[in-house]
Amino acid sequence: MNLYLSAPKAGKTHPEVIALSTMLRAAGRRNGRAVLASFRNPAGVAMRLRNFGRHDPNAPPGRDAGLRPGGAADLQVWREFGGNPIALAEEVTRIRRSLSADDWIPDTWSSRGPVPTFGLRTTTLADSRTGVYLLLLDGPIDVLAPQVEVDGRVLVKIGRTSDLDRRMAELAAGLPPGTLIRYVPISLREFGSSLNAHRFEQRLLGICDREGWSLGGEFAYAPLDALKAELAGPWPRDGPVCGP
C-alpha cells in the first residue's frame, strides 16, 4: 500500500517493485522453505499494487485490473491505514526492519576464513544484466553518522550487483549478530549490461556530490524520495551502451 500511494502505476520493471519482490521472496524462504519462481515475483507485486486501486477513490484513470480473485486483505489494509499516513509509515518501518533482520542475518558461529592456497588462478569475466541498487541503512542515526544533523534525510548506500539477494547476504555478513543496524532494499534498477549500470551508478553518486549529500564512497545522507525519483527517472534501458 505504501508503494501504491507513491507509484500507483508502477509495473514489473519499476525499481521499487523489483526491490520489494526481492525482500518478500527472501521472507518466503525462511527456515529453508522453497518458493516457486512465481512467488511474489515483480509481475505479481505489480498486480497486487493495482488491487489497491479498487479501493482508492483517487485512483489514476486507465489502471489495469489487479489480481483475481483477491482484494479482501487489501480492503482491510486500506480501511486501517487509508486515512492515517503516520500509522502507515510506522507500520512500513516495523515490517521492513522485521523482514531485513530475519532474512539477511550473519552467521552466529565464528568464521576465520578458508585455508590459504597458493598457485596460479584464472578468472573469466562475463557481462550480464546488472542492477543499480539503493539500500536504506537503518539504525540509530547518532551511531551510524554522528556528524550529520537529523533533518528528515536518511542514510543510504548506492551500488550495483547482478544478484541483489546475494549482495544483501554479503552486506549482512559484515554486521555483528544482534546489531540494531541493518540494510533494507529500497530500489533496484536493472540494465542490460554492467557498463550501463556502472555509468548510471556514477550518475547517481555524482548527484549526491553535487547536492552535498555524499558521505564518501557509496554512502550518502539524502532525501529518500529524491534519490528514488532519480533512480526511476528516464534513462536508455536496453539500447546501445549509453554515455556518461
| 8 A C-beta contact, residue 219 and residue 156 | yes
Q: How confident is the model at residue 54 (pLDDT cuts 50, 70, 90)?
A: confident
pLDDT confidence of residue 106: 59
Please say if the pLDDT value at position 141 is more than 50: yes
Rounded mean pLDDT, 147-170: 87
Share of the chain above pLDDT 70, in %: 86
Domain ranges of the chain: 2-103, 130-231
- CA distances from residue 51 to 23, 57, 63, 157 in whole angstroms, order as listed: 20, 13, 10, 31
Query: Strand runs (DSSP E) across the chain, as ranges?
Result: 130-138, 154-161, 182-191, 214-216, 219-222
190 vs 123, higher pLDDT: 190
pLDDT confidence of residue 238: 46
Distance CA 200, CA 242 (A): 9
61 vs 207, higher pLDDT: 207
Give 122-178 as a DSSP string. Answer: --------EEEEEEEEES-HHHH-TTS--SS-EEEEEEEES-HHHHHHHHHHTS-TT
